[in-house]
Structure 1
Amino acid sequence: MHEVHHFSYGAVTPLIAYLAAVVGSACGLSAVSRSRVDASWKVRSAWLWLGATAIGGTGIWVMHFVAMLGFTVDGMPIYYDVPLTVASAAVAVVVVSIGLHLVMMARYQLGRLVAGGVIAGLGVAGMHYMGMAAMRMNGEMHYSPVSVVLAVTIAVVAATVALWLCVHARGGTMLTVSALVMGVAVAGMHYTGMWGISVTGQTGAPEAGVPMIDLLGALLLGAGGTVLLLVFIVVGSRTESERRRYESFRERVADERVADAS
């Protein structure tokens, strides 16, 4: 049994990981809020996909891999399977998008909320363990059944709460608080799942995979570019309240024209 470290760089990795979760959640909630106003199915769906990219891609997947920078095992360098790592990111975005479409694209129902939360939560948990499966080391990882059950449960509950917030969160203050809460939930799921890991085997470097340091540049560039793009799109578009005021203004002008014409 080898000693496992989850915070090899102290508080740096968990703090940056939490920040990624909060920023991704905030951008995602802002994007989803805009989908409540547009009447076009395609436009609403596009906003939900953008929200899923922010929440699933940045808030969950980037958070996971930033946190993994602090995970080390004595005597065992950790490498990563690149295709499986990328696939886990796609899973995170897709399952969050499914949950958002179930809840946001039809009349709000508790059954849809629960179904969306279960699908998204199981998918997020699956992303977490796919990311773990992408790790290559000379030893073998073992998972505590208790930590797995707790992590999956937290993921489902957190996803359900996140979808509820996507429906009900209004205004900058509530969106900010919601993003902070979602960040705690995502980080809590991750570290709960990591808590029950133990590693056995011989020391030494694995024969396959890519060292994290080689992926770090691409990860930072890709994640940073995605976050900047998301922020640019969200900040550059009208907020939900602005859109509602604009639609109300258009309707009032149209009514006045009809009244003048008659």
Structure 2
Amino acid sequence: MQGTVDGFRYGAVTPVAAYVMACLGGALGLRCIVRTLLDNQSFKAGWLALGAASIGCGIWTMHFIGMIGFQVEETRIRYDVTLTLLSLAVAIVVVGIGVFTVGRRGANRTTLGVAGVITGLGIAAMHYLGMAAMHLNGDFRYNPLVVALSVVIAIVAATAALWAAVTIRGFLTSLGASLIMGVAVSGMHYTGIAAVSVHVHDSGSGTWAGDSPTSLLLPMLLGPVIFLVLAGVVVMFDPLLVLGDGEASRGAPSRRTGADAPSGPPSGARLGSLLTAARKRGR
């Protein structure tokens, strides 16, 4: 029997909340990467790791908030804890590979392309691992073309995010990039959901185990959400990011002017040398 798949059980609540978390993770990740570009003397590896974890947690949280609104009307859904946690690890590690590759080697076309493909495939792997964590009284079937489209969207979104991370430095432009990134990542998620169909077994057959969405996902989401809040506090109170690029650029010329001033003699010294030369000519 064909199951009735519904990805919007609670209406617009879960898609909007998922989008917000994707944007939050993207915004924090971008600002952390910008921090390494503003000051080469900073703890670069630490900021890159914080940025990767922020983006990874944001994507994972977006996925499972969206999955709270996913249901198959003819059967209950349970979740495997191990695969759910593995999907979080995959999100953070693979995003980390992309972030460190671009952060260390720069944003040339080859590096950006390779890092974007790796990160995009990691995002897609996280999504489909999360789908594989679901147990129900039936079998999942996927439309290959729609799955391929979701992977392409993930790769494009990842490449754009990595490009923005090393190119866009201003706060408002970073915010705009994170909003676009949230649209792309959420679009990938719901495209993947659109690829799913479920063949439900007869009501008297089939067994499945695991935790219900509310008993597993809601408590499990607390960890990444708390992490994102703490990462936000770190970013908000970092002096260099609070001042922003504008303050740094305005401060740079004044420092250069001060450094250049001693290169010529003071005005008083120049006046004295002119008077001395005039006396010698008078003699």
- Tell me the TM-score normalised to structure 1 length: 0.90
Unaligned stretches of 5+ residues in structure 1: none
Shift of 1:209: 1.1
* Partner AA of 1:172 in structure 2: F
**CA RMSD across the alignment:** 2.4
C-alpha offsets along residues 33-70 of structure 1, whole Å, 9 cap, x if unaligned? 10113325x81121111111111111x10000000011
Preserved CA contact (<8 Å) 1:151 1:189: yes
Shift of 1:226: 1.1
Larger radius of gyration: 2
Shift of 1:167: 1.2
Shift of 1:75: 2.2
Alignment of 1:174-193 (within 5 A): 174-193=173-192
Preserved CA contact (<8 Å) 1:79 1:206: no
**Residue matched to 1:49:** 49
Take 1:190 and 1:137, find their aligned partners in 2: how far apart are those partners?
20
**Residue matched to 1:169:** 168
SS in 2 for 1:140: strand
* Partner AA of 1:164 in structure 2: W
**Residue matched to 1:87:** 86
C-alpha offsets along residues 79-136 of structure 1, whole Å, 9 cap, x if unaligned? 1111111111111111111111111212431100000000000111011000001111
Shift of 1:254: 9.7
Take 2:221 and 2:192, find their aligned partners in 1: how far apart are those partners?
24
Preserved CA contact (<8 Å) 2:150 2:192: yes
- Cα 1:68–1:109 change in 2 (3 A) is same
**Residue matched to 1:124:** 123
SS in 2 for 1:131: helix
Take 1:84 and 1:67, find their aligned partners in 2: how far apart are those partners?
17
**Residue matched to 2:235:** 234
- Tell me the TM-score normalised to structure 2 length: 0.83
* Partner AA of 2:245 in structure 1: S
* Partner AA of 1:228 in structure 2: V
SS in 2 for 1:36: helix
Take 1:246 and 1:228, find their aligned partners in 2: how far apart are those partners?
31
Take 1:245 and 1:43, find their aligned partners in 2: how far apart are those partners?
21
SS in 1 for 2:191: helix
Take 1:226 and 1:253, find their aligned partners in 2: how far apart are those partners?
43
Identity of aligned residues (%): 43
**Residue matched to 1:19:** 20
Alignment of 1:195-234 (within 5 A): 195-202=194-201, 203=203, 206-234=207-235
* Partner AA of 2:17 in structure 1: I
Take 1:133 and 1:167, find their aligned partners in 2: how far apart are those partners?
34
SS in 2 for 1:213: helix
C-alpha offsets along residues 125-184 of structure 1, whole Å, 9 cap, x if unaligned? 011000001111111100100111000011111111111111111212111110110000
SS in 2 for 1:105: helix
- Cα 1:20–1:111 change in 2 (3 A) is same
Preserved CA contact (<8 Å) 2:75 2:200: no
Q: How many positions carry a matched residue from both structures?
A: 257
Take 1:253 and 1:83, find their aligned partners in 2: how far apart are those partners?
59
Shift of 1:21: 0.7
- Cα 1:206–1:27 change in 2 (3 A) is farther
Unaligned stretches of 5+ residues in structure 2: 264-283
Preserved CA contact (<8 Å) 1:48 1:100: yes
Greater shift after overlay, 13-22 or 240-249?
Answer: 240-249
**Residue matched to 2:65:** 66
Shift of 1:206: 4.5
